[in-house]
A and B are shown apart, each in its own frame.
Chain A
Amino acid sequence: MAEKEAKKLSLWSANARGWHVDAFWMFLSLVIVLVLWEALVAVFGFPAHLLPRPLAVVYSVIDHWGTIVENAGDTTVAVMLGYVLAVVFAVPIAILIVISPQVERLLYPPLVATQSIPKIALAPLFIVWFGFGLETKVAVTFLICFFPIVVDTIVGLRSIDPSLIQLARSMGAPSSRVFLKLRLPGALPSMFGGLKVASALAVVGALTGEYIASDSGLGYILLSASGEMNTALLFGVLIVLSVLAMIFFYAIELLEKLLIPWHVSQRSHAQ
């Protein structure tokens, strides 16, 4: 018992040390970027509408804080809805495709076909279907997230060692049990690959939706700031946006750490 606790502790401190080191380097690179940025403006004397000083960006974010928070909320809702819907549909479809060759033949070609159309090209159609606002944003997000999740889930489910199935069958396991206890857990690492790619794409999807069919959200603020040549606000919103996207990505990564601590990709700190 005591040994177990000690192991846990040492694991924890290894993680904690990793975290501090990461934070330090992140802070350092941020400082370097800011200093270079300030120096660039000072030395070359760029006008504020091309490249505002870092401080002007900070002030702009503070000035527009209420609006930014409100619209960031709208964007987040679109990202979440589109993403969750994509997961809810993509995973079962991937499972069906792996289980049944008929379903694969039926669904895979149209799936690939929709993927070959650039998502932005479908946006005008979505406006006709869903109108101006949240629904269109969610639809674009859904569509852009869907494919990577399907593909990586399929790859994960298929990558089971054939000998393992042989072993399970020699133990008399029905295929449902093989699926639940062997195939599915074995597919999780690959599935998380798709979920992480999709988490980054989800933000792109929501922004695309906001550019074309919305009067709210960070994408809309970006457009209007651009129209007003308010470059400081543009930079501010971009920074807020990237922070949002990072939080989302790391949330998925945290979920991955919790669900598959046993996988190779998660062991670096433990060893």
Chain B
Amino acid sequence: MPADIIQTSASTSSKSADALIEIDGVGKTFTGQDGENIIALEDTDLKIGRGEFLSIVGPSGCGKSTLLNLVAGLLETTRGEIRIDGEQVNGPYTDLGFAFQSDLLLDWRTVLRNVLLQCDMRGMDSKQHTGRARKLLKSVGLEGFEDKRPFELSGGMRQRVALCRALLLDPPMLLMDEPFGALDALTREQMQSDLLDMWQETQKTVLFITHSISEAVYLSDRIVVMSARPGKVREIIDVDIDRPRDLSVRDSAEFGAIVHRVRLLFQEMGVIH
């Protein structure tokens, strides 16, 4: 295996020089129902550059989702602090788009109204954003579906609507918690390449959680590998594969090498035998 392609970096990637998100010595401890303390996240330092696509992979219970919620300000850190744009996160940080594994579309709203939920939840006038909502839906191939109900759509289409909802107000960053985890393999590949196109065009900062190693390699600039119990950054791996990438990248030697590297880490941690 060509060792020069794969290098483990400290938090000094070229992009992190201009960091949008700074995670500084962050720990999170939950108190369980029996009063027992559960350390979800320990001593985490991470800088995410402006416009960077960063994936987090790790076994279940490694605190990936906790980290995402801490960045969004939905949870309070037990130790350390998180800064976005230089300012400490204190309470919900709303200048972002969130996407989950479940599309969370509301059955009682049409597709268009689901995208506009973004406005309704913020108490904004949704009429002003109807045009952009339609344009976004068109861009993901859902023109003509605006007045349909979510149950009339396939899983992939539903997740596209959820993505439009996240993008409606053009936030500078996207937090994605296994957004494609529930999709079938083919739909998943399509969604990945659509997401890459969108990212390439808009240069948003993306924090992406996944269980799929190849998904992480295909999409990311860097991959954060986390270990479980307590959740900790195990290693940060640069993905030096040229952009723009298309699906054929997956067959390249360098792609395979990085996938292999991540898998080895999981084997070392005893996640895969």
Nearest CB to that of A267 among chain B residues?
B151
Contact of A181 among B92, B96, B120, B147 (CB under 8 A): B120
> Is B118 part of the contact surface with A, judged by Cβ < 8 Å?
yes
A167 and B98 contacting across the interface, CB-CB below 8 Å: yes
> Is B100 part of the contact surface with A, judged by Cβ < 8 Å?
yes
**Cα–Cα distance between A172 and B100 once the two chains are bound (Å):** 17
**Cα–Cα distance between A172 and B93 once the two chains are bound (Å):** 8
Given contacts A181-B121, A262-B151, contact A170 B104 (CB under 8 A): no
For B100, the chain A residues whose CB sits under 8 A away are: 163, 166-167
B74 and A169 contacting across the interface, CB-CB below 8 Å: yes
A161 and B104 contacting across the interface, CB-CB below 8 Å: yes
Nearest CB to that of B177 among chain A residues?
A163
> Is A77 part of the contact surface with B, judged by Cβ < 8 Å?
no
Contact of A171 among B94, B102, B151 (CB under 8 A): B94
Helix, strand, loop or mixed for chain A's interface? Answer: helix
> Is B244 part of the contact surface with A, judged by Cβ < 8 Å?
no
> Is B246 part of the contact surface with A, judged by Cβ < 8 Å?
no
> Is A260 part of the contact surface with B, judged by Cβ < 8 Å?
yes
For A182, the chain B residues whose CB sits under 8 A away are: 106
**Cα–Cα distance between A163 and B74 once the two chains are bound (Å):** 11
Helix, strand, loop or mixed for chain B's interface? Answer: loop
> Is B72 part of the contact surface with A, judged by Cβ < 8 Å?
yes
Given contacts A163-B102, A164-B104, contact A173 B96 (CB under 8 A): no
> Is B107 part of the contact surface with A, judged by Cβ < 8 Å?
yes
In residues 102-161 of chain B, which contact A (Cβ within 8 Å)? Answer: 102, 104, 106-108, 117-118, 120-123, 147, 149, 151
> Is A177 part of the contact surface with B, judged by Cβ < 8 Å?
yes
B74 and A172 contacting across the interface, CB-CB below 8 Å: no
> Is B69 part of the contact surface with A, judged by Cβ < 8 Å?
yes
**Cα–Cα distance between A109 and B149 once the two chains are bound (Å):** 40
For A4, the chain B residues whose CB sits under 8 A away are: 147
The interface size bin for chain A is 20 to 34
Given contacts A185-B106, A185-B108, A267-B151, contact A170 B72 (CB under 8 A): yes
Contact of B123 among A163, A167, A177, A186 (CB under 8 A): A177
> Is A95 part of the contact surface with B, judged by Cβ < 8 Å?
no
A171 and B118 contacting across the interface, CB-CB below 8 Å: yes
For A267, the chain B residues whose CB sits under 8 A away are: 151
**Cα–Cα distance between A182 and B105 once the two chains are bound (Å):** 11
For B118, the chain A residues whose CB sits under 8 A away are: 171
Given contacts A166-B69, A173-B121, A262-B108, contact A161 B94 (CB under 8 A): no
Residues of A at the B interface (CB closer than 8 Å) are 4, 161, 163-164, 166-173, 177-178, 181-182, 185-186, 260, 262-264, 267
By Cβ-Cβ distance, the 4 closest A-B pairs, closest first, are A171-B121, A172-B94, A173-B121, A170-B98
